[in-house]
Every structure is written in C-alpha cells, then in structure tokens.
Amino acid sequence: MSDASKIGEPNDLHAAGKGRPDSASAKSEPVVRAVWAQLRRLHLLIIPLVCFMIAFSLMHDRFLTSVNLLNVARAASVTTIIGVGMTFLITSRNLDLSVGSMLGLIMAVAGTAMKWYGVPVPIAILMALAAGALLGVINGFVVTALKVPALLATLGTLVAYRGILNQYMYGETASRMPDSIVFLGQGMVGPVPVPVIVAAIAVVAGMLVYRFTVFGRYAVAIGGNEEAAKRAGINVNFWKVVFFTVQGMLCGVAAIVYLGQLNATHPSIGTGLELHIIAGTILGGTLLFGGYGSIGGMALGMYLIDVLENGLVLAGAGFFVQQIFLGILLIAAVAAQLAQRRRRDVE
C-alpha cells in the first residue's frame, strides 16, 4: 500500500505524516452499538412473536411442538425465499408487486414443461430461473427506461403476468410432479424439511451479499441517496435492473419449491402473495423509504406471519380472519416505521 499512486486507487499524495494511528482502535464499542441498533429495530418484531407463541401454546398444546414449529418454517420457506429479493428491492427504494404473479407464471411454465412436454427436471429448473430473470428484467426495464415508478410499474406487470398465466393455462392444472421436485418441496434431511434448507441458504447468502458485496452496498446507496450514488459514478439504472432480475430469479427458485410442496400448479397460485411478502419484509425492519434492509429480520417477519396463521388455524379461525390479521400487521408495521422516522427527523 506504500505505492498507491496507481490510477483508480486513492492517492496518499496528501497524507502529510501527521496521522493518528489510534483512530481505528476503539473496536469493540461500535460492534456492540451495531448489534444494539439491530436489536432495537427488531424488538418490534420479537415481542409480538414471543407473545403470540405463548398465547397459542396456552390455547393449544400441539402448537409448541417441534413438529409444528418446523411445519410453520416449511410453510414460510416460499415467502422467505422471495422475501430475500424483496429486502434488496425495498432497501434500494423500489418495490415489486408482481412477485405473486411471477411465482404463479413460473410454476406454470416449469410445471407444464415437465408434465405436458416431458422436459427433464434440471432443464425445467433452469427454465424457471430464466423465466424469472426475464420477468424481472421486464420489471426493471419499465422502471428505468420507461421511468414508471416501481409501485405502478409492478402493479401493471402484476396484472399482465397473471393475464399471461391465465391465457396459457386456461383454468387447467398440472399435477403429480417428478419425484425430485416433490423432494425439494416435501422431502426431509434428517428432521429438517428440504424447503427450509433452501430458504436458509437463500437467507444466509442474502445476508452475506447485503453486507459484503457491491450488490448489497449499492442497494443501500441507491435507496439512501440516489443522487449521491449517481454522482459517485454508480450506474443506478443498471443496478435497479439487476435488483429486479434477482427478485425474478428468486421467484423462480420459490416456484420450484412450491411446485414440489403442492405437487401441482394452478393459475390462481400466488394471488395476493405480494402483500404477505411486503408485510414480512417491513416487519423485519427493512425501511420502506430505502437505505436499510435486514434479511434476518425479514426471515423472522415471514415466520411471525405464518406463526400467526398457524395459530389462527389451530384456534379454528378461517382464511378470512387470517387476511384481516395480515392487513392489520402490514399497517402496524408501516405505522411503526413512520413513527420511528418522525422521531429520527426530530432528533
């Protein structure tokens, strides 16, 4: 580093020998503060999660069994996988409402490819990823090239992708997927369901990407101050397209898992899922206004939602009650963030 005058490296032309080498020594304190900051963002979530779990276990002795908790994790795996992409998108101050339609459309593409046209499983998986990438690129193109705000752009593709799906399937279903697909959705490795493993891999990869790669850092920069990112030479539009593309590809991964879980596909699958995904992401602490995202929080958020749904089911409540709760949860999460932001602005 003593020879740092290469182009593209910071110069130390102006380092004038009066440095204070002790400046970076206080190491542990910021780490503690960073952890505390994380917890402060998550407490919103952990408290209700624990409360609900206690309440449900009192109401129903089957709730707090490891089998049931793993069942909940299995149910949350599809939303968690998609939530990884949503966390990056919302961090970059974007949004994707078309995830439910993408999930359904990709499941139709991969499912019918295997069942109607005899496409081998590995090819079908590649097709799912490619289809997801294509749908994501379209979203990114509409947002960057046509300059339609992400909310409206993906509201448009939510409808359009669902339309393509309905046009293609015409109410038909494809069922009884190949064994390897069913394994991805329903199999077990020891006591752990395979979809939970897939989701865990997505979450861990997402956490690493968020913290240690330019992909994650640029999501923060673009969401935090897009103009500053531009002036720093970051190709903002390129990265936005990348974020949407990754979201599409993660929908592809989730589609394969869900195809195995349901062992079938149907044109209405994924309808309304976007609210579930966004609610879980926001609950996890990811800021709706961009600049901060938490993959781990998102995973907890998705789990919380399914704990709720599971508990409600065990308590005998139906789907409509679940919808009411999901709506309230989303509003509460957003309201809490707005309150937090007002507090911060006052500071």
Do residues 210 and 203 lie in contact, with contact meaning Cβ atoms separated by under 8 Å?
no
Plot region of 251 (φ>0 → left; ψ -120 to 50 → alpha; else → beta):
alpha
Task: Return d(Cα 286, Cα 26) in angstroms, integer.
Answer: 28
* Residue 22 C-beta: closest distance to another protein, Å: 8
* Residue 274 C-beta: closest distance to another protein, Å: 25
Backbone angles phi, psi at 64, to 5 degrees: -85, 30
Q: Which of 46, 59, 189, 214 binds another protein (CB under 8 A)?
A: 214
C-alpha closest to that of 82 among 222, 235, 270: 270
Taking the least distance from each CB to another protein, the nearer of 231 and 343 is 231
DSSP label at 290? S
Q: Which of 118, 191, 233, 316 binds another protein (CB under 8 A)?
A: 233
* Residue 347 C-beta: closest distance to another protein, Å: 9
Q: Which of 71, 126, 141, 230 binds another protein (CB under 8 A)?
A: 230
Round the CA-based radius of gyration of the chain to a whole number and report it: 22
* Residue 92 C-beta: closest distance to another protein, Å: 11
Print the binding letters for residues 28-57 with another protein: x by CB under 8 A, - otherwise. Answer: -xxx-xx-----------------------
Residue with tokens 């500071």: 347
Query: Does the protein bind another protein through residue 175 (CB under 8 A)?
Result: no
Please, what sign has the CA dihedral across residues 220, 222, 223, 226?
positive
Query: Does the protein bind another protein through residue 212 (CB under 8 A)?
Result: yes
Q: Which of 13, 67, 146, 346 binds another protein (CB under 8 A)?
A: 13
Element spanning 4, H or E: none
Site residues, another protein (CB under 8 A): 1-2, 4, 7-8, 10-21, 23-27, 29-31, 33-34, 212-215, 217, 220-221, 223-225, 227-235, 291-292
